[in-house]
Structure 1
Amino acid sequence: MTDIPAKTRQIAPLRTPTDLGADATRDIAAALTTLLADVFALYLKTKNFHWHLSGPHFRDYHLMLDEQGEQIFAMTDDIAERARKVGGTTLRSIGHIARLQRIADNDAEYVTAQDMLAELAQDNQQLTAALRSTHAVCDEYNDVATASVLENWIDQTERRTWFLYESSRSNH
């Protein structure tokens, strides 16, 4: 422990050692942070719809959205930690999420189950595009580790889109 008073100590910036250059750190961390805002927005919307579902397929949809919410939430820590591992920083607050998110909130008092599923399918498609865009940034700087985990999330997100789409189709 040091005897230097906290007010006079130099605070070291959050610089994680990396072999990626400053441009790579800046661009990859920024892409991951924006992606993380989208993932949190999608997570909360998925849980919102999970909590407010009603109708004849309630149990099946409720369980599916709960499972999808868990899968989406599981991405959050890994995304944030990738930003830190490449030498950057990431989200710091709900306000930060709100400023960056590209997936729209849905604060409607009532949404039909079919509309919930269709909206979440579109949002997951939008997230897939964001994941691919982030992957392109990682490819530009040869960040194969981040690109690798993004590929798994692309597959998971495409699967969620497929399930939501098939569940929302009418049987006519």
Structure 2
Amino acid sequence: MTSETTPAIGIDEKALKDINAGLAQTLADTFTLYLKTHGYHWNVTGPHFRSLHLMLEEQYQALFEATDDLAERMRALGDKAPGSMAEMLELATITDREPTDDAMQMVKNLQRDHEAIASTIRPLSEAADEAGDGATADLYNARLDFHEQTAWMLRSFAS
């Protein structure tokens, strides 16, 4: 994303650029996973319909809220957040569309995506902390906790 101005908050310009690049990717992955989860919520069928429908609703709502937190952190750090589907798809590292009618495949796809995002976030959190950006590290750590816990829930559901 293009920087507006570099805020004078005690983090050097290169570190801010790197932090914002990580936030943009995390935002894109989160938004992509939000859409996938919401789509699965709409289309899940089968004997576990009600429990999966409700679980996926909780997950997509949490993912949607997280997109706002991530975008607002980018704005606080002087950058613009990606705001179009084209930008999200360009930045995302997870697959945006995996249609399936099999509820357990939906669960496995989402589990894999949550684990992938957690793997991506861990080093970003460490880098933000090393740059003196505790607020971003805290945001990442909250996201890490969510993705790891959600992956565990999905893994448990599928076993």
- Aligned residue for 1:164, secondary structure, equals helix
Check if 1:77 corresponds to 2:68.
Answer: yes
Structure (1 or 2) with the greater helix fraction:
2
2:124 to 114, 118, 134: 134
How many equivalent pairs are there?
156
| Kept after mapping to 1: 8 A contact 2:25/2:92 | yes
Q: Which residue of 1 aligns with 2:108?
A: 118
Task: Provide the C-alpha distance between the structure 1 equivalents of 2:79 and 2:145, rounded to a whole number of angstroms.
Answer: 26
2:44 to 28, 34, 53: 53
- Aligned residue for 1:54, secondary structure, equals coil
- Aligned residue for 1:90, secondary structure, equals coil
1:103 to 79, 90, 94: 94
Q: Which residue of 2 aligns with 1:165?
A: 155
Q: CA deviation at 1:38?
A: 0.3
TM-score (norm 1): 0.86
Task: Provide the C-alpha distance between the structure 1 equivalents of 2:91 and 2:139, rounded to a whole number of angstroms.
Answer: 22
Identity %: 37
Task: Provide the C-alpha distance between the structure 2 equivalents of 1:141 and 1:88, rounded to a whole number of angstroms.
Answer: 17
- Aligned residue for 2:16, secondary structure, equals helix
2:19 to 9, 24, 28: 28
- Aligned residue for 1:71, secondary structure, equals helix
| Kept after mapping to 2: 8 A contact 1:16/1:85 | no
Task: Provide the C-alpha distance between the structure 1 equivalents of 2:20 and 2:139, rounded to a whole number of angstroms.
Answer: 15
Q: Which residue of 2 aligns with 1:64?
A: 55
Task: Provide the C-alpha distance between the structure 2 equivalents of 1:137 and 1:59, rounded to a whole number of angstroms.
Answer: 41
Which has more radius of gyration? 1
Aligned AA (1:106): R
- Aligned residue for 1:73, secondary structure, equals helix
- Which deviates more, 13-22 or 29-38? 13-22
- Aligned residue for 1:56, secondary structure, equals coil
The gaps in structure 2 that reach 5 residues or longer are: none
RMSD: 1.4
Q: CA deviation at 1:88?
A: 2.1
Structure 1 residue ranges, 4+ long, deviating more than 6 angstroms after superposition: none
Q: CA deviation at 1:21?
A: 1.1
- Which deviates more, 64-73 or 80-89? 80-89
TM-score (norm 2): 0.92
